[in-house]
Amino acid sequence: MKRNIYVGCSGFSYKDWRGTFYPPSLDQSLFITYYERFFDVLELNYTFYSMPHPHTVEGFLKKTKRVRFSIKANRVFTHERDYSKEDLKRFMNGIEPVVDSPRFIALLFQFPQSFGYSPESMDYLAKLSEDFAGYEKVVELRSRSFGRAELFDELEGMGFSLANIDAPKVKGLLVGPWRSVGSINYVRLHGRNEEKWFKGEESYERYDYLYSEAELKELKEKIERLHRGKDTYVFFNNHYRGKGALNALQLKELFGESVEIPKGLRASFSRKLWE
């Protein structure tokens, strides 16, 4: 893509994408193959919820030819934060087929907003850096308490790149900070559903959002300023009913790429396309 800026989605195996992004009759085993028709990069996020198995991960490589993968670290490393050596070994063994391939991008460590800045938190990040030494690493810090310039240098010294996020501007959430930290640029776009960010009855509700053309143009400008010649990876996490896939295709188009938008997405959201 133009100027080594790559756009894709956070996750792909969503059942509610059937009929919007995916054709209604497409077998779920072929979702990732179909995804590759439209995108060159993918953030694997099922690895956050369950420990990966090498057979599954190897299957993703076999079903695709060019898609490159970022892998979300399991919640034991970011939310529970009580992992054992066995957990570490199991996780790394599970993702080995991808991390040992040319199609590996990075490991993503996405911390909850409750993980705030403290000396103990920085010590924990240093431990992660040591235990995952030798691998490209990205950290997403959602607490606004981490919004300090001196910390960004410290994170880079640990070997982390920083995930810049777009999300609702709600109390305590670190949005942005739109700083190029580390060896790559990494952007996660969660949508701006302020009403449901804390109060949604279902977890998917906070990500039920479709960016407008004006918002995507604003994000494009921020990404271009962030770029600075580094490989830059942009992942849409506003996944409900394939809205993130639609926005990802629209952003690719804004970057000058010729794109195809699946019929289901057009039919579902035609009134909101470039409104």
Task: Work out the burial of residue 12: count CB atoms within 10 Å of its CB; fewer than 13 is exposed, 13-18 middle, 19 or more buried.
Answer: buried
Contact 264, 14 (CB under 8 A): no
According to DSSP, the residues that pair with 12 across neighbouring strands are none
For residue 196, what pLDDT is reported? 80
Query: Does the pLDDT of residue 273 top 60, yes or no?
Result: no
Mean pLDDT over residues 146-172, rounded?
A: 94
Residue 182: per-residue pLDDT = 96
Kindly state the helix (H) or strand (E) to which residue 71 belongs, with its residue range.
strand 68-72
- Residue 78 and residue 115: Cα distance in Å, rounded? 9
CA distance 116 to 144: 8
Q: How many domains would you assign to the chain?
A: 1
C-alpha to C-alpha distance for 87 and 100, rounded to whole angstroms: 19
| pLDDT reading at 149 higher than 90 | no
Q: Nearest Cα to 220, choosing from 252, 179, 190?
A: 252
Nearest in space to 244 (alpha carbons), one of 15, 7, 3: 7
Predicted confidence at residue 224, as pLDDT, reads 95
pLDDT band at 154 (very low <50, low <70, confident <90, very high): very high
Q: 160-195 pLDDT, tens per residue?
A: 999 999 999 989 999 999 999 999 999 999 999 988
Positive or negative: CA dihedral 163, 167, 172, 177: positive
CA–CA distances in Å: residue 97 to residues 110, 113, 224:
22, 31, 32
- Chain-centroid distance of CA 240 in Å reads 14
What was the pLDDT predicted at 271?
A: 63
Q: How confident is the model at residue 198 (pLDDT cuts 50, 70, 90)?
A: confident
Q: What is the mean pLDDT of the chain?
A: 94
Q: Where are the alpha helices (DSSP H) in the chain?
A: 31-35, 46-49, 54-63, 75, 85-99, 119-131, 149-157, 194-197, 213-227, 243-254, 263-269
The pLDDT value recorded for residue 195 is 86
Reported as a single tens digit per residue, the pLDDT across 96-113 is 999 999 999 999 999 999
Quick check: 1 pLDDT over 50? no
Query: 137: which strand partners?
Result: 107, 160
Q: What is the pLDDT of residues 59-69, one digit of tens each?
A: 999 999 999 99
- Write out the residue range of the structural domain in which residue 262 sits: 2-272
**When comparing pLDDT for 200 and 123, which is higher?**
123
For residue 228, the one-letter residue type is: R
Percentage above 70 pLDDT, the chain: 96
Assigned token pair, 205: 């509700």
3-state DSSP assignment of residue 168: coil
Amino acid in position 55: H
**254 pLDDT higher than 60:** yes
What pLDDT does 48 receive? 97
Q: How many CB atoms lie within 10 A of CB 172?
A: 12
- Strands 185-189 and 104-110 come out as unpaired
Span 216-223, average pLDDT:
97
Q: Which residues touch 80 (CB under 8 Å, ≥6 apart)?
A: none
CATH code (residue 206):
3.20.20.410
> Which tokens in the block code for residue 106?
């990075």
Residue 275 has pLDDT above 70, yes or no: no
Rounded Cα distance between 53 and 92, Å, is 10
